Amino acid sequence: MEEIKLNPEQLERAANMLKAIAHPKRIAIIGFLEKGGSLSVTELHEKLGIEQSTTSHHLGILKDKGILVSRREGKKTFYSLKHENLKNIINCVSMCKSD
């Protein structure tokens, strides 16, 4: 197996991304975006069953840590995963859960 070399800055960024993801609602957001591609704040808050302001807060954290990207269309903001590899993290978490 090939050794992966990461410098301290890369490790710090990776740790910060994992910390941002480590919340049940944020994992759910990433899961919805993995399946839906690009979703608006309204669509996500309805799927999550939480207040729109709370959804926006979680989205802001994920975007700030480089996990999500956003684009505006009129009055709506749509979010999607910044890196396709993030799907692997969610798949791994889903497969590693306790039964």
Residue 67, Cβ density class (10 Å: 0-12 exposed, 13-18 middle, ≥19 buried): buried
- 68-73/76-81 β-pairing: antiparallel
Residue pLDDT, tens place only, 33-92: 988 689 999 999 999 999 999 999 999 999 999 999 999 999 999 999 998 777 777 777
For position 43, what pLDDT does the model report? Answer: 96
**What ranges do the domains of the chain cover?**
9-94
In the three-class reduction of DSSP (H, G, I as helix; E, B as strand; rest coil), residue 72 is classed as strand
Q: Would you say 23 and 30 are in contact if contact means Cβ atoms under 8 Å apart?
A: no
DSSP readout, 29-61?
Answer: HHHHHHHHSEEEHHHHHHHHTS-HHHHHHHHHH
Which CATH fold topology does 9-94 show? Arc Repressor Mutant, subunit A (1.10.10)
pLDDT of 25 higher than 80: yes
In angstroms, the CA 79 to CA 61 distance is: 12
- DSSP H or E run through 76: strand 76-81
